[in-house]
Chains A and B, each alone.
Chain A
Amino acid sequence: MATRFISKALVAIQANHWRMTLNIIVCYKLSPDAEDLRILPDRSLSFAEAEWRIGQYDLNAVEAGVSLAEATGGTVTALSVGPKELENSKARKAILSRGPHDLYQVVDDRLRDADTHTTAQVLAVAIRKLSANGYSFHLILCGEGSADLYAQQVGAQLGQLLGLPTLNAVAKIEPSGDHLIVERALEDEIEILEVPLPAALSVTTDINLPRIPGMRDILAAGKKPVTQWSLDDLGLSGGIRPGVEILDTRAPLQVNRKRQIWEGESEDMINKLVAELRKEGIP
């Protein structure tokens, strides 16, 4: 009996069923809800009435981090950089109710409309500060892109800045011994890779279904530690030089469509439609 147990254990260790405790940093972005976007007469945009939310793709990253931490007995720290809206208690509860153990935020209105390189740089400095404070992390997780820009850049840039193995399009993460087995879903193929730790990964929506916080989760969120830093606290008093200059942001010009609409399901109507299409050369 004992020998069977021991040999099983040995097989497990050899097969790397042993998993290292993973301490994870999950990065997320708060941005105004695109549905609350108001278009002004000159086609410029107003987010004055907008609700600021955690990006939908970031929720997959948070869920992935929390699941991995739960599976390996590790911790999850949520991290975000941005303007004053981050201070909102609702925003903080929204992230902390999803499982992270604590929250760090770099808040500065100079980060409003920050470009992806700026965001990545500030995140990198914040993570280095966390490490300097004694926090040893194994994995950084990001969503595939932000809800507003969807540039799909910050994860890649952050990993590079920190000198970590970096991948995107991650659809599955399996802890294995002291590394990860990662599945990447590319356009026409799937790659399975062994990724050493620490690493920075950007995950896709395929990876999981984010949990919906319950009453207790939200109550617990109110008690979790939140640390707020300014750019000065990070030694970035001068701000960060952006890599691009924003020239203009506007609602798109509507292509003038004919908008010829018929109501009803009669053959007559269909024939009219087909007649118009034939005029256009279709079929």
Chain B
Amino acid sequence: MDTQREIWVFADKIASSLELIAAGRSLGGKVVALTLGEPETAAPLFQHGADEVLCLGGPALVEDVTETILEQIQARNPVLLLVYADRRGKLIAGRIAAALGATVMTDVREIQAEERGFKVVHMLYGGGAVRSERSITPCAIATVATGTFQALPADASRHGVAMRLSPTEVRNPMKLIERRKKAVSMVNLSAARRVVGVGRGLAKLEDLALIEKLAQTLEAEIACTRPISEGLNWLPRERYLGVSGAVIKPDLYLAIGISGQIQHMYGVADAHCIVAVNKDKNAPIFQMADYGIVGDLYKVVPLLINAFQRIK
């Protein structure tokens, strides 16, 4: 193992950093975790595998850390920077890449160290294609979505002293006027073992009650396709599965009234078991399901509820 080879990770939440650290560890080399906040909060990062922790403090605008991270990278030349793929992460990764003359490899699903550079796999065309590519710049940069890697178990024996970085001057300061927390449903779809998804087969908002009953019976979370949340606003954005939404790997995905377009199925492609209910026998989802019922969901769902209740 080349201990001089450094892999840096950055996320704006500790939980996400842990996943990136696991990814870094799998690639060999020294894992350096960049994190917001102060050194006192760094313990979990060490315990879950970081070799070094650099703290960026808590600027009003999170993206103000970009110049600092960039200066550090230019000083220490890591071979890889992994950034958590939330909106902030994509902005920060992009700005750093531009400054370094690199291309960000986005939403990678797999990453492997090669003799020179890193090889990754990611999706294109809304899930219609898979591309593998290799970085050819001295510092490779990749963004990683939640759930792609699992955090390593905590090892209480691992510890270290985190360093607080002094902030580099922000080139183009912007003033934060206000920050408003969104009423985010505390839903963690990634953790759900069973998920019931609903799509445009649902005629009206009120019918969600039926789906909720089904989900309750199965002890499942509810999710949906993009039009149901972003288009109709029947469910919050956190609940939509797909290319620009959440990607999950539940034991069971029960798709009700969903046609099965690639952009949505991308979000559940790795589910262990997919069951579909749709009244159109030609719906693409039946090609991607383990089990399916061709029928009217308004008749089938109540029957399913009864059947599942009976075996409880």
Residue ranges of A at the interface with B (Cβ–Cβ < 8 Å): 34, 37, 45, 115-118, 120, 145, 147-161, 163-169, 181, 184, 186-196, 199, 205, 242-255, 257-265, 267, 269-271, 273-274, 276-278, 280-283
Contact = CB atoms under 8 A, between A and B. Distances in A.
B177 A192 contact: yes
A248 B131 contact: yes
Q: Do most interface residues of chain A lie in helix, strand or loop, or is the interface mixed?
A: mixed
B279 to A, nearest CB: 9
A64 B147 CA distance: 34
B86 interface: yes
A256 to B, nearest CB: 10
Given A186-B88, A259-B286, A283-B312, 9 more contacts: A116-B106, A117-B98, A169-B87, A191-B61, A191-B180, A243-B101, A259-B290, A263-B295, A273-B275
A4 B106 CA distance: 57
7 contacts: A156-B91, A192-B177, A196-B174, A245-B134, A258-B291, A261-B286, A278-B311
Given A117-B98, A195-B174, A243-B136, A152 B181 contact: no
B166 interface: no
Contacts of A163: 171-172
A204 B269 CA distance: 26
A202 to B, nearest CB: 8
A150 B243 contact: yes
The bracket for how many chain B residues form the interface is: 35 or more
B175 interface: yes
The 7 closest A-B pairs by CB, nearest first: A156-B94, A243-B103, A165-B172, A160-B98, A117-B103, A157-B98, A265-B295
Contact of A244 (B130, B134, B218, B275): B134
Contact of B124 (A149, A160, A189): A149
A189 B128 contact: no
Contacts of A159: 95
Contacts, number: 253
B206 interface: no
Interface of B: 61, 63, 86-88, 90-91, 93-95, 97-99, 101-107, 119, 123-137, 171-182, 184, 194, 218-219, 230, 238, 243-244, 251-252, 269-270, 272-275, 281, 286-296, 299-300, 303-304, 307-308, 311-312
A168 B90 contact: yes
A117 B97 contact: yes
A189 B180 contact: yes
B125 A37 contact: yes
A254 to B, nearest CB: 7
Contact of B172 (A155, A196, A245): A196
A247 B90 contact: no
A243 B135 contact: yes
